[in-house]
Amino acid sequence: MVVMDFRQDFIEFAVARNVLRFGEFKTKAGRLSPYFFNAGLFNDGESLDRLAQFYAKAISASGIAADMLFGPAYKGIPLAAVTAVALARDGRNLPFSYNRKEAKDHGEGGTIVGAPLAGRVLIIDDVISAGTSVRESVEFIRAAGATPAGVVIALDRMERGSGDLSAVQEVQRDYAMPVVAVACLDDLMAFLQKRPDFKKNEAAVACYREEYGVAHNG
């Protein structure tokens, strides 16, 4: 199945680039996680190009209707830019914009750079942890009279927040819009099960999921 192929390919790519690592890592919530994902390590031209292609495939597979892309500062800025390039290469030319952390009081001014926010706006980011970036993005988009169409992220950890829902589920509930991940914890587990050289990590990830995971993010 093509959809599963690109998800598994993405996990392989993230591991090969050392963006997805295994060991023992403390999360922001103070949990000891057996894996760590740092999208900031996609930090050269080749890896960004491939990453953008995965984002484009996830967007196409999702079927979400969008008129433009928005990249929240700071990590979302390059992600939205390269995803726009990848989509254009596939024949879907969408405008994009991003926000400044602080308003500019000279030149063009304001906090939004790039195309005017209009229509259905798809937010491009790396992950969703506390959901702060999404909330701010939704506020920018709505203030401009546009409509948040959804969020696309690289990896969904499918992990509970402070309550019973994951951060992704909370965003879907609070803003009534879809969150699409290039890959999720299910895909990571499938990777570990089929790769003998990484199978030693399967039990630790499964135990962590049993303790902190959610069933699904649909």
- Tell me the residue type at 122: L
Which of the following is catalytic: 26, 104, 199, 200? 104
Q: List phi, psi (to 5°) of 98.
A: -150, 170
Which two three-digit tokens encode residue 37?
A: 């994902």
Alpha-carbon gap, residue 70 to 201, rounded angstroms: 36
* Cis-peptide, bond into residue 74, ω within 30° of zero: yes
Which two three-digit tokens encode residue 85?
A: 């390039």
Alpha-carbon gap, residue 150 to 159, rounded angstroms: 20
**Residue 104 designated active-site:** yes
Q: Is 24 exposed, middle or buried (0-12, 13-18, 19+ CB in 10 A)?
A: exposed
Alpha-carbon gap, residue 196 to 72, rounded angstroms: 38
Which of the following is catalytic: 26, 57, 106, 194? 106
Select from 155, 174, 161 the least CA-distant residue to 130: 161
Residue numbers annotated as active site:
104, 106
